[in-house]
Amino acid sequence: MTEQTSTGGPARRARSGHRPGRAAGDRAGTTVAVLGATGCVGRAVCAAYARRGDRVLAIARTAPPDPDHPFLALDVADTAPAELARILGDAGVDTVVNAAGGWARTEELHRGHVQLVRRLVAAVGATRTRPRLVHVGSVHEYGPIAEGTSVRETAEVRPDTAYGRMKLAGSRIVLRAAQAGSVDAVVLRAVNVYGPYTTPASFLGTLRDRLRRAGPEGLTVTVAAARRDFVDARDLAEAVVLAGRAPVTGEVINIGRGVAEDVRELVRVLLETAGLRPDAVPLVDAPVSSNGGAWTRADIGRARRLLGWRPRAGVRESIEALWEQG
């Protein structure tokens, strides 16, 4: 089926496809709540808002030992919408970023990407401050992407993994609420994320941690013959900030570099960053079996047009941050 967003193809326009937005210089009274604040994306989002002088309320299930921002330990998936609305209203929140959820068992995927989003949307709609909602979705919501092509937001969505299906279900909850006018929201469909604090659950994060623990001795890396689009968490965070202020609602916007990187080349760069020769670890070819698919590349033209956003970090800069901050 074709995703119903407010622009493009057969999709219908949301009731409020454009919103007034804030003037670029208006910094007064900005308070953002970031869900999933301890993850790779959430940490980058908190830092991006803090650099701009915004007030940040970091929210996650478990507080870190020494949080950088005011922190609320809260399991949003188990929190009643009325209670969450009270929390957001009392804090004067005017922007909510949902960067929660990760790779997990199917039942946990539903809880983190569907149940949580359903409660969050209900809470945002009931909050007296009517905050803006930026929902971080995933390129995996599209399903397989034809090799050599760049996927657009108007593409047919056919996710073929549990993760992709749950992410799509969550994004649809947000989009339908925006189209109904009950929330002011936008969905960012991000490609594979790396950079500072890359999750250990990812391929590159796993390899980084294995190299740190045991070094290259006796290590063999199985690498799929895949080319995938990657975006630095810091660039994604800047897109989130821009989306929080952009005069659009009910939109899906791809966030990536628009480049399909050879995964084997990323491994070589990581080995060099770790101070190893590129041939220090044998690379063994394997079929694609992960959520990533054999080919991903996002068309990021809409992000340029609607947000004024472009990626900045190159591969080596992002891999160095992955190695140094993780």
pLDDT confidence of residue 24: 40
Average pLDDT over residues 162-177: 97
**158 in Cβ contact with 142 (< 8 Å):** yes
pLDDT confidence of residue 18: 60
197 three-state secondary structure: coil
**Res 19 pLDDT > 70:** no
Give the least confident one: 8-22, 161-175, 206-220, 264-278. 8-22
Average pLDDT over residues 269-298: 84
> How many residues appear in the chain?
326
**Res 27 pLDDT > 60:** no
pLDDT confidence of residue 108: 87
* Annotation marks residue 197 as catalytic: no
Beta strands in 139-245 (DSSP E): 184-190, 192-194, 221-224, 227-228, 230-232
């190299």: which residue's tokens? 211
pLDDT in tens, 123-149: 999 999 899 999 999 999 999 999 999
pLDDT band at 249 (very low <50, low <70, confident <90, very high): very high
**Domains along the chain with CATH numbers:** 31-195+230-258+296-312 (3.40.50.720)
Average pLDDT over residues 260-264: 96
Radius of gyration of the chain (CA): 19
pLDDT band at 326 (very low <50, low <70, confident <90, very high): confident
Maximum Cα–Cα distance across the chain: 59
Q: Is 255 exposed, middle or buried (0-12, 13-18, 19+ CB in 10 A)?
A: buried
Average pLDDT over residues 67-86: 97
pLDDT confidence of residue 224: 82
**92 in Cβ contact with 33 (< 8 Å):** no
Reported pTM? 0.91
pLDDT band at 8 (very low <50, low <70, confident <90, very high): very low
pLDDT confidence of residue 288: 66
pLDDT confidence of residue 13: 36
Annotated active-site residue in 49, 163, 194, 197: 163
Average pLDDT over residues 13-32: 54
Instruction: Look over the chain and give the mean of its residue pLDDT values, rounded to a whole number.
Output: 90
